[in-house]
Amino acid sequence: MGFELRFTDKKITAWGGMGLMKRMLDRIGFQAAVAACGLPQPGSDRGYAPIQLILQFMLSVWYGVV
């Protein structure tokens, strides 16, 4: 999968697994699947894309922020 797991004496943060979650979502084609659902797009140039909001929400749930 392009990464190595090993023990280290270096300090790590609680957010260290976010890269693995992103790789998992990329590997399963999550963004393409959500884009194919036909979600409504923002009506102004300052709106957020629905996929961005969904990804942010999912990450916050996975990491216990919400």
Supply angle C-alpha 1, 59, 21, rounded to 5: 5
pTM over 0.75: no
Residue carrying structure tokens 């929400």: 57
What pLDDT score was predicted for residue 56? 84
What pLDDT score was predicted for residue 29? 92
Distance CA 9, CA 12 (A): 9
Per residue in 36-58, pLDDT (tens digit) is 988 888 888 888 888 888 888 88
Q: How confident is the model at residue 33 (pLDDT cuts 50, 70, 90)?
A: very high
